[in-house]
Chains A and B, each alone.
Chain A
Amino acid sequence: MQKTAKDMMKEICQLSLQNEFKRIAKLNISNIKYQSLSTGQIEQLARKIALLPSEYRNILFFHYCFNSNPNETDKMLETENTINKLPYIQKMLSSLMGLEDLWIDEGSMKKASQIVLKEMTKDYENLKVQGRPDYSKEFRRKLKTITIKGNPNSIFMQMAKRVAVFILVCILSISAVLVVSVEAREKMLGWIIQVYPKFSIFTLQNTNDDNDLVKLSDLKINYVPQGFELVDTHEGRTMLIYNYISEKNEELTIKFLDPSGEGKSYYDTESAKVKEIKFKDAKAYTWETDALTYFIWYQDGVECHISGNLNQDKIIKVADGISK
C-alpha cells in the first residue's frame, strides 16, 4: 500500500519537475543577474554539487568539465532534456546558496564542478581492487573484433568525411607549397580541419623536426588585456594551459600544445564562420561563437590556442604578444 502512494507521488512530482524544467528554461536570460562566488562559497557549492542526484551532477560535469553540448550529454548519459535541466540545476544551486534572485555565474559553476570531479577522481585512484572480472565470451569476442565506429556512423558519412579530409589536405598542401618561398620551415605544415554540424576537429599535420623547437614553457605571454589575472596553470606532458579571469569574470585560456602529441582539438564551431588568416608567417584560424572567440595558430614549433570572452582584435593582440 505504501509503495502505491509513493509511486503516485513520484509520478506526479516527475510531471511537476518537467514543468519546472520548462518554466526555468523559458526565463529571459537577459533579465538574469549573475553573482560571482568567493573561494569559500565555491567550496560550499562544490559540497552541494557532490550531494546532487547523480544525473544532475553528471550533467554539470559534462557541461563544465568536459565542454560537452547538451545533445552529446544526452547521448552519452542516455538522459533527456539536458538543455532544459541545466538551467534548472543552476537555478536550484543558486537558491540553495542563498542567492535568491541572482544566479551563480558560469566561472564559479565551472570551478565548483571541477573541484567535485577532482575529488571523485581521487576516490577512483585510491580504490582498492578486491575482485577481478571474468567477462563473458560474448563481450571478449566483441572487444577483439570491434570495428571502431567514428562519428558520424554511417558508411556514407565516414566516406564523405574522409573525402573532405583528403580535399582539405590537398588544398592545404598546395597552400604550403605556395608559402615555401616565404618561409621554408613552414613548407610542409598544414592544418586538417574536419567540419561537422556542431563542432570541428583541428589537427596540425607535418610539423617539421626543427632543431630549434622550444619547450612549451619557453613561450612567454607578454600581453593580456587589463583586468585579467592568471588564476590557474595546468602542465601536462604535451600541453601547457594558462587560465586567466578578469574582474568581470571574463575568461581567457591560452594553450600551448606540443604537435608531436598527435592530438586533435575539438572545438565548438556551430553556426560560426571559421576565418583563415595569415599570422606569424603561417595559417591561423579564428571564429566566434555566442560565448567565446577562438584563435589557433602555430609558432616556434608549438601549436597555440586561445579562447576567451574577448573580441577577435583583442585575442589576436594577445597572440601577437606571445614569443620565445
Chain B
Amino acid sequence: MLAILFSIMPDNERDFVNKLFSKMNIKMYNISFNILRDKFDAEEAVAQTFLKIIDNIERISALPCPQIEPYCVIILKNETMNIIRKRKKVIHVENVDHFDHKDEAYDIEEEYLQALNKEKLLTCINRLSDEDKTLIHLRFANEMGFKHIADLLGITEEAAKKRGQRILKKLRQFYEGSDEDAKDS
C-alpha cells in the first residue's frame, strides 16, 4: 500500500500538470499577450503561473473540474498584473483593470498637493465621509480611472470627476483649517 502511494501519487500529479499545460498554455499565453503586448513577458507570465500551479498541485487537483481552469486563469491574470507592476509596462487593452493613463481633472490641485505634509493629509482623509474615502481610495490607492469609478458607483463619468474635485477641495479646506467651509461644501 505504501509503495503504491509513493509511486502513484506523484505520477498522477505530473500527468495532471502536463494535461493542464497542454490544454491551457496557448490560450493562457494569448490572454497574457493581449494585456502585456510583449511575447517574452507573456511567456514569463504563463511560466510563472505553471510554476505556481505545480507548487500547489494538491490544492488545485482537488478542485471540482469546472473550477480548475477558471482558478488557473485567475492566477495567470494575477501573474500578468504582477509583471506589469514590476516592470511598469504600458497596458494596451481597455479591459485590464483600472489602469488609467490619461491626465485627468486634477491639474488645478497638482501643484498644491506637492507641498503637503503627509501625516497631516492622512488625518484630513480620515475626516472624510465613508463615501468620499471610498472614491479617493479607488482613484489613488487602486489607481482606477474615473470611467471605472463612475461605472462602479453607478454615476456618470463627469459626476465622478466633479465628486473627485470636490473631495480634493474639501481636503484642502480641512488641511488649511477651514473646517467650517469644508462642512458647507
Contact A66 B67 (CB under 8 A): yes
Asked if A221 is at the interface of the complex by the 8 Å CB criterion, the answer is no
Asked if B74 is at the interface of the complex by the 8 Å CB criterion, the answer is yes
Q: Which of A136-144, A223-231, A273-281, A315-323 contacts B (4 or more CB under 8 A)?
A: A136-144
Contact B59 A266 (CB under 8 A): yes
Contact B137 A20 (CB under 8 A): yes
Interface size class of A (residues with CB under 8 A): 35 or more
Please report the C-alpha to C-alpha distance between residue A17 and residue B57 in the assembled complex, in whole angstroms: 34
28 contacts between A and B (CB under 8 A): A1-B110, A1-B111, A5-B109, A6-B113, A17-B141, A51-B151, A52-B97, A53-B98, A58-B77, A76-B52, A76-B75, A121-B69, A124-B31, A124-B70, A127-B27, A129-B27, A131-B39, A134-B39, A142-B47, A146-B17, A148-B14, A148-B54, A150-B9, A166-B1, A201-B58, A236-B66, A239-B64, A265-B62
Contact B26 A53 (CB under 8 A): no
Please report the C-alpha to C-alpha distance between residue A77 and residue B52 in the assembled complex, in whole angstroms: 10
Chain A interface residues toward B at CB < 8 A: 1-2, 4-6, 8-17, 19-20, 48, 51-58, 61-62, 65-66, 72, 75-78, 92, 95-96, 117, 120-121, 124, 127-136, 139, 142-143, 146-151, 153, 162, 165-166, 169-170, 173, 201, 234, 236-237, 239, 262-266
Asked if B82 is at the interface of the complex by the 8 Å CB criterion, the answer is yes
Asked if B146 is at the interface of the complex by the 8 Å CB criterion, the answer is no
Contact B31 A12 (CB under 8 A): no
With a cutoff of 8 Å between Cβ atoms, the chain B residues found around residue A148 in the complex are 10, 13-14, 17, 54, 57
Contact A65 B121 (CB under 8 A): no
A-B contact count (CB 8 A): 201
- Min C-beta distance of B67 to chain A, whole Å: 6
- Contact pick for A124, options B5, B59, B69, CB 8 Å: B69
The closest CB in chain B to the CB of A173 belongs to: B1
Contact B118 A162 (CB under 8 A): no
- Contact pick for B133, options A20, A129, A151, A153, CB 8 Å: A20
- Contact pick for A236, options B29, B56, B64, CB 8 Å: B64
> Which B58-87 residues have C-beta < 8 A from chain A?
58-59, 61-67, 69-71, 73-75, 77-78, 81-82
5 tightest Cβ-Cβ pairs between the two chains A and B:
A13-B140, A5-B113, A133-B29, A13-B141, A53-B142
With a cutoff of 8 Å between Cβ atoms, the chain A residues found around residue B61 in the complex are 264
Please report the C-alpha to C-alpha distance between residue A52 and residue B151 in the assembled complex, in whole angstroms: 10
- Min C-beta distance of B76 to chain A, whole Å: 9
Contact B137 A129 (CB under 8 A): no
- Contact pick for A121, options B6, B33, B70, B116, CB 8 Å: B70
Beyond contacts A17-B137, A76-B52, A149-B54: 12 other A-B pairs, Cβ-Cβ < 8 A, are: A65-B67, A72-B59, A77-B75, A120-B70, A131-B29, A131-B33, A131-B39, A136-B43, A148-B17, A165-B2, A166-B5, A264-B61
Asked if B173 is at the interface of the complex by the 8 Å CB criterion, the answer is no
Asked if B153 is at the interface of the complex by the 8 Å CB criterion, the answer is yes
With a cutoff of 8 Å between Cβ atoms, the chain B residues found around residue A14 in the complex are 140-141
Contact A77 B78 (CB under 8 A): yes
Residue interface mask B7-33, A partner, CB < 8 A = 1: 001101110010001000111011101
Contact A124 B148 (CB under 8 A): no
Please report the C-alpha to C-alpha distance between residue A197 and residue B157 in the assembled complex, in whole angstroms: 48
Please report the C-alpha to C-alpha distance between residue A27 and residue B17 in the assembled complex, in whole angstroms: 42
With a cutoff of 8 Å between Cβ atoms, the chain A residues found around residue B58 in the complex are 150-151, 201, 264
